[in-house]
Amino acid sequence: MADYATTVKNGNKSYHISISGKDVYFSSTKKTGGIGLKGIKCINNQLRNTANKAVSEFELAQAISRSL
C-alpha cells in the first residue's frame, strides 16, 4: 500500500504524490497510488532523481508532465 507524501501543482491541476517502498506514484484524483512517476525514486525518505539528487517541486511537476 502506498503512503501519501505531498501534493504538487502542475499548471492548473494538483497531483498527489505517494510512495510505496522506492516507487513513487502520482494521481490527480486519489491521495495514494496511481501512475508510476518515471525517473523519481524514494531513497532514505527523500524523493530523488536518477542522478540520486533530491528533487524540487518544479522537478516533480516536470516528471509528471513526462509521465502523462
pLDDT tens-place string over residues 10-43 = 889 999 999 999 999 999 999 999 999 999 999 9
User: Cα dist. 16→19, 33, 39, 51 in Å?
Assistant: 10, 9, 17, 23
Question: 43: which residues sit within 8 A by CB, 6+ positions away?
Answer: 22, 52
- Helix, strand, or coil here: 14? strand
Q: Which pLDDT does position 3 carry in this prediction? A: 94
Cα distance between residue 6 and residue 18, in whole Å: 7
Domain boundaries, the chain: 3-67
Position 55: which residue type?
V
pTM to 2 decimal places: 0.90
